[in-house]
Amino acid sequence: MIKPCNSIITGTGAALPDQVITNRDLEEMVETNNEWIVSRTGIRERRKLEAGLSNADLSERAAREALSRAGVDPAELDMILVATVTPDHHTPSTSCILQARLEAFKAGAMDISAGCTGFIYALSVAHQFIYSGAYRKVLVVGVEILTRFTDWEDRSTCVLFGDGAGAVVVEAATEESRGIIDYTLKSDGRGARLLYVPAGGSALPASHETVSNRMHYLVMNGNEIFKFAVKVVENTLFELLQKVNGKPEELDMIILHQANLRIIDHIRKHLRLPPEKFPVNIDRLGNTSSATIPIAMHEEIMAGRLKEGDLVAMVAFGAGLTWGGVLMRW
C-alpha cells in the first residue's frame, strides 16, 4: 500500500552550456583516447560553461524554465534550495544570488552540499518542508560547473566531468495519489578523501603553493568510488522498494546518478530490467554531479517517456561519501 503523498513536482527545467568538448578534443590535451573513455565510462562528450558565466547563470536558466512549466511566479516561492559543490563563492550561497535574480523575495534560500547526491538531499528537504505543512512551494536546483574545478592535466578525472543544471518546482499537492512517497539519505565520512578538493578551504587555505601544486582541483580514487557505488545503489533501491512492499519490476523508471555507464548497466543487468527504464545522459553530458538526475528527469518528461502515474526511483551517490534515493509516483 502506498501511503498518500502530498508533495509533487509540478515543473522541470534544464540548462546546458553551448560549448561541447568531445573525447577527440581531450586527446589533444592529455594522454587519452576516445576508445578508453567510451569503453570505461560511456562518455562521448560533455559541456563546458563559457568564461564569464557562472553557476548562478545556469541555475537561473534552469529555474526559470521549471517555474514557467509549473506556472509558478517566483514571488510565490517559499524556499530556494541549490544543490551544488561548485557554487559561485564560498559565501554567500548561490541560492541567495538566484533568489535576487528571480526576485523571489518571499523565499528563504540555502545551498546544500552533498556531493553528487546533492539533488536527492535537496529534494528530500523540500519534501519535508512541504510534508510538515511549513511551506507550499519550493524550488530545487541541481547544478555544477565542474569544469572549473577539474585538473585539465589529470587524465584520470578531466575526461569524466561536465557542466549543467536541472531544476524542479515542488508543491503541496491537492491529489494524494501522486508525489514523493519516501526517501533515504545516507553518509559515511570515513570516505571523505576518496573524492575531494585538497585546498582552498579552511583546512588548507589557498596560497601560491597550493595553486602551483594544483591542489584546488578535484582528486578522486575512482576504483574505490566505483565499488562503493555498485553496492549502495542496489541497496538503496531495495530500501526504497521495501517502503512500499514493491519489487524492482514494478518500477516504471529508475533514474540513477550518471557517473559511469558501466555502473548503470551493471545495476540494470543485475535487476534484469530493460534499458528503457534507465535514462542515460552521461554519453552526451559526462558526470554533471548534482545535476545528472534533474536533467535526466527533465529530458524524460520532454520526450514523453515519464508519464503521470509512473512509479519512479531516483538514486545517487558521491563525495562525502553520501548516497540516497527518492521514490515517487509521478
Site for ligand UT7, rule CB under 6 A: 32, 36-37, 40-41, 116, 155-156, 159, 195, 222-223, 225-226, 229, 259-260, 287, 289, 318
> Is 257 an active-site residue?
yes
Indicate the residue among 180 and 264 with the shorter CB distance to ligand UT7. Answer: 264
Q: How far is the CB of 194 from ligand UT7 (least distance, A)?
A: 9
- β-pair type (19-22, 45-48): antiparallel
Indicate the residue among 198 and 222 with the shorter CB distance to ligand UT7. Answer: 222
Catalytic-role residue among 257, 260, 281, 298:
257
Catalytic-role residue among 5, 96, 116, 158:
116
Name the residue with the smallest CB distance to ligand UT7: 222
> Is 287 an active-site residue?
yes
Catalytic-role residue among 5, 260, 287, 298:
287
Indicate the residue among 2 and 219 with the shorter CB distance to ligand UT7. Answer: 219
> Is 116 an active-site residue?
yes
Give residues with Cβ within 8 angstroms of 133, minimum separation 6: none
Indicate the residue among 3 and 270 with the shorter CB distance to ligand UT7. Answer: 270
Residues with a catalytic annotation lie at 116, 257, 287
